[in-house]
Amino acid sequence: MNIRAFQLKCQARDSILFPECVDWTPADRLVELIGELGEAANIQKKLKRDYNSVRFEDLEMEAGDAFVSFCLWATGLNVDLETAAIKAYNKVLDRKESDMRRLDDLRREDHS
């Protein structure tokens, strides 16, 4: 499954399971995303300070929550994350005048 397909899966799942959120704006989704990142940050803090109160798997789960929220936010803006990520990746290569290979398509990269 590519990133765009996952974005659409998240949107479809959300519209069925959370119909009360169907009219959420991208700003609402951004607040949701920041909330998930806050949850991840809290676990990250506890992993250092109170090691026995949380598990690494809790952080992994919050990373997943944040990614799903990120996908929902981007989809609400009609941003194709794969295209955006490739542009950002290549932009850094260009800025650093790197001879590393530019990405054209993540799906093609997976199969080469």
Q: Which positions touch Mg ion (CB under 5 A)? A: 36, 39, 65
**Position closest to Mg ion via CB:** 65
If the CB atoms of residues 14 and 36 are measured against Mg ion, the closer one turns out to be 36
For 34-39, which contacts have Cβ atoms below 8 Å and span 24 or more sequence positions? Answer: 35/69, 36/62, 36/65, 36/66, 36/69, 37/66, 39/65, 39/66
Cβ 59 to Mg ion, closest distance in Å?
A: 11
Cβ 69 to Mg ion, closest distance in Å?
A: 8
If the CB atoms of residues 21 and 88 are measured against Mg ion, the closer one turns out to be 21
Q: What are phi and psi of 39, to 5 degrees?
A: -60, -40
